[in-house]
Amino acid sequence: MSSFHEPTPGRAHWVYTHPRPDSLNRHLFDAGRAALAERYEVTVSDLYAQGFSPALGERDLGSLAGHPGNLAELTGQAYARGEVEPEVRREQENLAAAELLVLQFPLWWYGPPAMLKGWIDRVLQTGFAQGDLDAATGLPRRYGDGRLSGRRALIVVTAGDDQRTLGPRGVSGDLDSLLFPLTHGALWYVGIEALDLHVVYDADGIDRAGREHETERLVTRISGLPQERGRPYRRLLDGDYGRQTRTLDPDIHPGRTDLAIHYAD
Domain hosting residue 41, numbered range: 11-232
Residue 247 lies in a domain: no
In 184-235, which ranges are continuous DSSP H helix? 208-223
Residue 191 lies in a domain: yes
What is the 3-state secondary structure of 22-67? CCHHHHHHHHHHHHHCCCCEEEEEEHHHHCCCCCCCHHHHHHHCCC
Residue 243 lies in a domain: no
Q: Residue 106 phi/psi, 5° resolution?
A: -85, 150
What is the 3-state secondary structure of 94-151? HHHHCCEEEEEEECECCECCHHHHHHHHHHCCECCCECCECCCCCCECCCCCCCCCCE
Residue 2 lies in a domain: no
142: nearest Cα among 235, 6, 71: 235
103-120: average pLDDT: 97
Residue 58 lies in a domain: yes
Asked whether 104 and 14 are in contact (CB, 8 A), the reply is yes
Does pLDDT of 185 surpass 60? yes
Angle (CA) 29 117 34, round 5°: 15
Task: Please report the pLDDT score of residue 2 as a whole number.
Answer: 40
> End-to-end CA distance of the chain, in Å?
27
Does pLDDT of 197 surpass 90? yes
Query: For 135-171, how does the pLDDT look when each residue is reduced to its tens digit (9 = 90+)?
Result: 877 778 899 988 999 999 999 999 998 889 999 899 9
Task: Please report the pLDDT score of residue 1 as a whole number.
Answer: 35
Asked whether 26 and 156 are in contact (CB, 8 A), the reply is no
Q: Residue 46 phi/psi, 5° resolution?
A: -95, 95
Which letter does DSSP use for residue 233 in this model? B
Cα separation values, 148 from 9, 95, 156, Å? 14, 9, 20
Residue 262 lies in a domain: no
Residue 265 lies in a domain: no
Confidence of residue 127 (pLDDT cuts 50, 70, 90): very high
4-33: average pLDDT: 94
Domain CATH number, residue 41? 3.40.50.360
What is d(CA 204, CA 166) in angstroms, rounded to the nearest whole number? 15
What is d(CA 89, CA 215) in angstroms, rounded to the nearest whole number? 32
Query: For 24-75, how does the pLDDT look when each residue is reduced to its tens digit (9 = 90+)?
Result: 999 999 999 999 999 999 999 999 999 999 999 999 999 998 899 999 999 9
Q: What type of residue is 83? A: E
pTM of the model: 0.93
- How many domains is the chain built from? 1
Residue 227 lies in a domain: yes
